A and B are shown apart, each in its own frame.
Chain A
Amino acid sequence: MEPRPTPTGDDPRLPAPVAERRIAVAFVASTLAALGLAGVYVAGGQPQAEGALLFVALSGLGVGAVQWARQIDDGPTAGERGELAGSEADQEAVVEEVADDVADLGRRRLLSRLLLGAVGALGLAALFPIRSLGPSPGHSLERTAWRPGRRLVDSEGHRVRPDTLTVGGTITVFPEGAVQAGDSQVVLIRLAAGRNRPRRGRETWAPDGNIAYSKICTHVGCPVGLYQEDTHELVCPCHQSTFDVLDGARPRFGPATRGLPQLPLAVDGEGFLVAQSDFTEPVGPGFWNRS
């Protein structure tokens, strides 16, 4: 069969000596690279050398293979597709075989319904082990580890006073004794005196300019770690929800629909910052039962 010309008319089949030389070079390069790879490994390994040598080893084989394939390529072949669907006779025979039994099932109404019921019940029962995969949500999404009088501590467990933060500063705080509670992380910010514009009922929540909000974004729960001090905004790094710290962390921009819940703060007898109570609304992203 004639070799198939390319669109430009060139014959991809090179004269045998030329092609063989090229294939040989490719295979030799591949072999050397593979040996080099083994050597690099023995010598302790180095990622870039390993990658480069593996590349040469594989592509040497590949390039040689392509050229060899070209050499043995004797052009396109054509063939008949044939019918995909089976013969009439076959189709009819199968349908007949099965159709009778299906009809039989239809006739025995009671039995087939009981069968369906039994299979359905077993299937349903088989789903129940899925229940063991996790605990019941209960009210866990509506509560955190904060309690009245619980002290604020930093990530190393040190208690926080109203003047621990400089004005314009921020750290992340946790309930004392419950630093591992992932839903209780709070971002504490120190505002300049008089800057805060507390909502009705929240006037006592920010002693000495120390204001605390849940760090869990109300969009999809990323920690809202960016505090833009000059504009007093908390920005979530994931999807850029922006919260106004001076206005109860109301969302100013981005996909978050609810402000960050504010933790009411107070100062206890020993001068440490404590929570007045748990948050007054669920923290974090929304869910069906959140009213």
Chain B
Amino acid sequence: MSRGQKRRKPEEANRVDRAFRFVDDRLGISHFTRKALNKIFPDHWSFMIGEIAMYCLVILIVTGIYLTFFFVPATKEVVYQGRYAPLRGVEMSQAYASTLDISFNVRAGLVMRQMHHWAALVFIAAIVVHLCRVFFTGAFRRPRELNWMVGLTLLVLAIGNGFFGYSLLDDLLSGTGVRVAYSIALAVPVAGTWLAFLFFGGEFPNTEFITRFYILHVLIVPALIVGLLSAHLAIVWRQKHTQFKGPGRTEGNIVGSRLWPQYAAKSAALFLLVAAVLALLGGLAQINPVWLYGPYKATQAAAATSGSQPDWYMGWVDGALRIMPAWEIRAFGHTVANPFFPGAVMPGVTFGVLYLWPFLERRFTGDREPHNLLDRPRDAPFRTALGAATLAFYGILLLAGGNDILAGIFRIAPEVITNTFRVLIFAVPLAVFVVTRGVCRGLARDDLHPTRPPPGGLVVRTATGGFETVDGPDDGRPSEPVVDAWKPPPVDSG
């Protein structure tokens, strides 16, 4: 239909018509919009995990902006005279005092703060689960290696921003964490002392870091995250999403919902439900009650609380610090201090391998073909087993980060718990690797769903008294991959 013709339309369509033409006249977006509206998105639920992370980010930004109106990132010491009685008359940084004000004086301030913190925890958890989905289905293979690396960088930035964020409050617990980070920087060979002094502004303890963490947390890292996330989405848009194998799906086509209206509606619904869960947590589950910890007092009696853990996404580094044996390199008048190995080398190496994984796998398997169809985890037993073992590795480290709390709960000496973890950190990933690889091979061979019952054949009694199966696999090896029984859709040329 050309632009000159007018067609009789109902009232509503007239309004949409006028509005869109107004915009298109000025921006020329109709061609792009036409393609976009019809763009197909496979809508398996596991493809929505990345979106969950994205919507957590939206909540973080919205609540974060609100918090910046009240938080004071200043290091000046003030004497608190606010509503929280146990701290009245106590000296604290303005940063900490403003946090108390947000929690007790600003209406809905505490809910905003708690939603923000819960959203950060769920954000990184969702990224990790999304990473697992991508890894275990082989979605990082050509042509998506770049996007894998972009995503990994987003994970690293998210973890960093979380650390900067909760350290801003200058409370006793997070201040201890900043001290640990400072000491890890110190432990870096050759340049460590300079690294620590320049990044943190001098000898610890000093409060220089608050203003620096602030600008990192509200401007620099969020800008990087938003930029990389846009690239991440643009690449997915350009390359089109992967899809699981199934009837009617090939390497060359894409099956799913159209962006408008179905996928947009589903996505909007997901955002609302993610926001709802975060709101529930933000109001009903207390998180980071900084008033109980008190302000960080490095310059005073320098207390720390027992049961000092960082937020979960740093917990694996803390666990590594705890179970690392007391080894250190001392030679020629220099020291490579103990924290360097669990605090810098281990994360560097593990993340380095993660970054390179698409290329390592190409090298191992010799598979250089592009893939738009996903593997089921069982189709790549080695990869799945290695991924499971890596998760077990990080999981053990995470648990080890709570060794003193575990010691208290089970009334076992922390020494015993720590030594147990030192053994488990090797034994468990190895065991998980072997078991997972076996399970994958078994599932692939029998071609069964891990949790659903096997599609049974109908077993009938023959006239002569014997049994035979009708409509089912005779030898356990079906001729066609067994997927859920739905009819293949008619192929649309749109």
A–B contact with Cβ pairs below 8 Å: the answer is: yes
Separation of A233 and B492 alpha carbons in the complex (Å): 75
Instruction: Bin the interface of chain A by size.
Output: 35 or more
**With an 8 A cutoff between CB atoms, is B223 at the interface?**
no
Contacting pair A81 B240 (CB below 8 A): yes
> Is A221 in contact with B179, judged by CB distance below 8 angstroms?
yes
Chain A hits for B343, CB < 8 A: 220
Q: In the complex, what distance in Å separates the CA atom of A253 from the CA atom of B323?
A: 10
Complex Cα gap A222–B309 (Å): 12
CB <8 Å contact, A137 and B494: no
Interface flags for B36-58 (1: CB within 8 Å of A; 0: not) read 00101000000000000000000
Contact with B along A136-177 (1 / 0, CB 8 A): 110011000000000000010000000000000000100000
Tell whether, in the assembled complex, residue A240 and residue B280 are in contact, meaning their CB atoms are under 8 Å apart: no
- Given A48-B283, A172-B302, A58 contacting B337 (CB threshold 8 A): no
Cα–Cα, bound, A239→B282 (Å):
30
Give a binary string over A253-276; 1 marks a CB under 8 Å from any B CB, 0 the rest: 111111000000000000000000
Cβ contact within 8 Å between B254 and A81: yes
Q: Is the CB–CB distance between B114 and A47 below 8 Å?
A: yes
Neighbouring B residues of A44 by C-beta, 8 Å: 107
**Distance in angstroms between the alpha carbons of A182 and B399 in the assembled complex:** 31
Which secondary structure dominates where chain A touches chain B? loop
Q: How far is the CA of A285 from the CA of B179 in the complex (A)?
A: 10
Question: Using Cβ atoms and an 8 Å threshold, which residues of chain A touch B186?
Answer: 141, 285-287
A149 to B333, CA, bound (A): 31
**A78 near B: Cβ within 8 Å?**
yes
Q: Is A289 an interface residue (CB 8 A)?
A: yes
Q: Determine the residue in chain A with the shortest Cβ distance to B103.
A: A47
A76 to chain B, nearest CB (A): 5
| A residues in contact with B328, CB < 8 Å | 257-258, 286
B410 at the interface (CB under 8 A from A): no
- Which chain B residue has the least Cβ–Cβ distance from A253? B415
- What is the number of residues of chain B that contact chain A, defined by CB distance less than 8 Å? 114
Question: Does A98 reach chain B (CB closer than 8 Å)?
Answer: no
Q: What 0/1 readout, one digit per residue, does chain B (232-259) give for beta carbons within 8 Å of chain A?
A: 0000001110000000110111111110
Whether the pair B240, A45 counts as a contact (CB closer than 8 A) is no
Query: Chain B residues near A2 (CB, 8 Å)?
Result: 487, 489
Say whether B272 contacts A65, CB under 8 Å: yes
- Minimum CB–CB distance from A216 to chain B (whole Å) comes to 8
Q: How far is the CA of A7 from the CA of B494 in the complex (A)?
A: 26
With A58-B276, A288-B190 already in contact, the answer to whether A73 and B262 are too (CB < 8 A) is yes
Contact of A255 among B299, B322, B414, B493 (CB under 8 A): B322
Other-chain residue from A61, A183, A223, A226 in contact with B272 (beta carbon distance below 8 A): A61
Tell me, yes or no, whether B169 is within 8 Å of chain A by CB: no
The interface residues of chain A lying within 8 Å CB-to-CB of B338 are 219, 255-257, 286
Contacts A78-B255, A134-B198 given; 8 further ones with Cβ under 8 A?
Answer: A51-B281, A59-B272, A62-B270, A72-B261, A76-B255, A80-B252, A288-B193, A289-B334
Interface residues of A (CB under 8 A from B): 1-2, 4-5, 7, 9, 41, 44-45, 47-52, 54-59, 61-63, 65-66, 68-69, 72-81, 84, 130-131, 133-137, 140-141, 155, 172, 179-183, 185, 215-216, 219-223, 225-226, 237-242, 251, 253-258, 284-291
Binding site for A on B (CB under 8 A): 38, 40, 107-108, 110-111, 114-115, 143, 176, 179-180, 182-184, 186-194, 197-206, 208, 238-240, 248-249, 251-258, 261-262, 265-266, 268-273, 275-277, 279-284, 298-308, 318, 321-328, 330, 333-339, 342-343, 370, 372, 403-404, 414-415, 418, 484-487, 489-494
17 A-B contacts (beta carbon < 8 Å): A2-B489, A4-B489, A9-B485, A41-B107, A47-B114, A50-B108, A54-B111, A58-B272, A59-B273, A77-B256, A78-B249, A80-B252, A172-B301, A219-B321, A238-B176, A255-B323, A288-B192
